[in-house]
Structure 1
Amino acid sequence: MIISASRRTDIPAFFAREFMESIRAGFRTVRNPYSGRETRLSLAPADVECIVFWSKNPEPLLPFLPELEERGYRFYFQFAITPYGADIERNLPPKRRILQTFRSLSEQIGAEKVIWRYDPVIFSAEWTAERHCEMFRRMADALAPHTKQCIISFMDFYGKCLRRPECRVFREPSEAEMLDLAAELSATARSRGLRISACAEALDLTSAGIEPAHCIDPDLIETLTGHIIKRTKDRSQRPECGCAVSRDIGTYATCRHNCVYCYAN
């Protein structure tokens, strides 16, 4: 079983201690966000093939990682760092501190286990393709020594987002704009030795040098664990999603980053 921690909230940022309490207890009670049904999920090392952490600020979890390793867990991080300010990502620490956390995490567990997400890519009067290219270059220069790959994703206009006044300045790019920007980001990433892919995009970006991503990645998990895992596509995700099946242990509407584009709050 693969544990996703979590697409629904930022467990490393806000619930690191609670997560470790569940690890020590050997189980976690998870509520289905649609039916409300609760399930007791085993977190015993023998039952967990890998843990995939999703976070914008995993700093609070870093002190617990040696214990996780000592207990026999294998894990990696989907670490989202974008160039936006507090008008969009309202409750994040300063980006300099987050970049330092990325470097520290990479040094602690290895660059192959820390995946940089430039996600979401937002278009607006302020956030033009040219500005994204410049900021992506700066961030790639800072992060390339500390990771092996980057995953991008263009903003999805979920209903929750559309109802927020702050999102009214965002716009949906044309396919041509997406392809042009994807090609620029791809060239920047590859010139710095980074593999780049795209998360759950309906638009085919392979002509821009970007393959579909597998954020919960069976190849990486097999490399980390040394075991063959089931390569079943996760049907509970969007059709374009390339992730393997996992069990998510987070709870919606609990993340305190309060990013204006978020689907989970």
Structure 2
Amino acid sequence: MDIEDLHLACLAQIPEGGGPCRLELEDLVESKKQVRAPQAREDGLKLFARVTESDRARALQRPPLILSCSRRTDVPWAFLRQYLKAFREGFMYVRSPVTGQMDPVCLVPYDELTGKGVLCISWWSKNYSKWIEEFKREDSILRSYKVHMFNFTVNSDDLVLEPGLTARLPERLQQVTWLAKRFGPHALNIRFDPIVHYRRVPELGIHDNLQDFEQIVCHIGGLGIRHITFSFCKAYKQSVRNMLSANVELVALSEAQQRQVLDRLLPLAARHGVELRCCCDTGLVGYRAQAAQATAPEVRKVRRWGLKKEKKEEGEKGEKGDKEKVARQLLAAPLIPEVGESRCLDARLADRLARDLGLKVTFPHQKDRGQREQCNCTGSREIGQYELQCPHSCLYCYANPKPVQPGAPGGG
């Protein structure tokens, strides 16, 4: 597939339901500042303050099984040192983004005798280099936590959209390789997120960040990673404001235009045995690439829950070795290019990882009510802090990124 087909100069300069995202005058005047996390209230506590004995006792009553670290900022890259100290102490304060209160959280590792403590940490990052170096240490506190899941955002190199991301794509793919070999490919959720279309003001041409997509899916497919999570950039006020402040205009796509993009990406990913799973957009789930875009005579989807019926029957007639052979053949078969549904933090996966380690434990599978309506993530205890400004300075971020510095590639 010609890489030029992936660029949305090909979408006939957008309209047809899509177009540039603008803010009303009052939105621009309202604030050019970053979103501010709730201010400290009467508790007077500061980030990473030592947890009091009374608060420790309170936190010990309900220790979480799964921690999320973190959707709110890039802890593994930018704040690992501070969090390692908290892990060693076994407790930390986390500010509620709703009330502003500092809540004590128990970080004590899981105890098989009592069945209490933190068993799993779901990590979120764009650069795991510091985390990997820390984990390689034999005495690292990270090794006290048995189950690790990795949400690894691997986008194309784009200094306009991600001016603070210092690790180039080859380095990040090397990190993916190390994590997959150490923890297994199923422990990783690779995220190409978000897919962004934009223009540099005052230029007229439309750009996107899809140029390295094929390289990424080719690499992860070769490691045995069978899915990649994506979403299209949404026009949150904060995201639009961040981009405009850097002389970049977000271009929103209509659903029809999004499907045109998927007509190109789906078969490309399927060619490498990778399924596209959509994050927080149920309207795209189940969409299949148009027949004209298919890359193989006929491709079929590998069922995540097992073999197809006819294959099962065929295997059952033979010996056990035949079953395994059939399974391998099916897993090697090409995928139907169809959008799946993402669950970036998945307790079912945590169950599997725990079983692989010989741990007899089942995680709660309830949906996380604190996330967006269409988010399928299961419940966890988020320990990120919005006050910790992410240094990647991604223009599309709707959390609290560090402002782009003047003279930076995305800073105008």
Q: How does 1:11-90 map to 2 (within 5 A)?
A: 11-46=75-110, 47-66=117-136, 67-68=140-141, 70-90=143-163
Structure with the largest fraction of helix: 1
Q: Does structure 2 conserve the Cα–Cα contact (< 8 Å) formed by 1:167 and 1:261?
A: no
What percent of counterpart residues are identical?
28
Match of 2:384 among 250, 253, 263: 250
1:238 corresponding residue in structure 2: 372
Q: 3-state SS of the aligned residue for 2:283? A: coil
Bigger drift between 152-161 and 95-104 goes to 95-104
Structure 1 position 234, deviation (Å): 1.0
Q: Which has the larger radius of gyration?
A: 2
Distance 1:139 1:37 in 2: 41
- The one-letter amino acid paired with 1:33 is P
Counterpart of 2:25 in structure 1 is none
* Residue of structure 2 equivalent to 1:188: 268
- 8 Å CA contact 1:161–1:167 kept in 2: the answer is no
- In proportion to residue count, which structure has more strand? 1
2:170 counterpart SS class: helix
SS in 2 for 1:252: coil
Mean Cα deviation higher: 181-190 or 43-52: 181-190
Moved over 4 A (4+): none
| Higher mean C-alpha deviation, range 99-108 or range 145-154 | 99-108
CA deviation string 1:107-146 (max 9, x = no partner): 3322222221000001234435xx73x5311221223223
TM-score (norm 1): 0.91
1:203 equivalent to 2:273? Answer no
State the alpha-carbon separation in 1 of the partners of residues 181 and 215 from structure 2: 20
Quote the Cα distance in structure 1 between the aligned partners of 2:143 and 2:239.
Answer: 41
- Alpha-carbon distance, 1:193 to partner: 1.8
Further displaced range: 169-178 or 136-145: 136-145
The CA deviation string for residues 213-245 of structure 1, in whole angstroms up to 9 with x for no partner, is 111112211101132221111111111000001
Q: Which runs of 5+ in 2 are unaligned?
A: 1-64, 111-116, 199-204, 289-337, 356-360, 401-412
Q: How does 1:130-141 map to 2 (within 5 A)?
A: 132=210, 135-141=212-218
Distance 1:211 1:192, change over 3 A: same
Question: Does structure 1 retain, via aligned residues, the 8 Å contact 2:240–2:250?
Answer: no
CA RMSD of the aligned region, Å?
A: 1.9
Residue 222 of structure 2 corresponds to which residue in structure 1? 145
Change (3 A) 1:248 1:52: same
Residue type matched to 2:214 in 1?
R
3-state SS of the aligned residue for 1:228?
A: coil
Equivalent position SS for 2:284:
coil
Q: How many residues align?
A: 262
Alignment-mate amino acid for residue 264 of structure 1: A
Indicate if the aligned counterparts of 1:121 and 1:155 stay in contact, CA closer than 8 A: yes
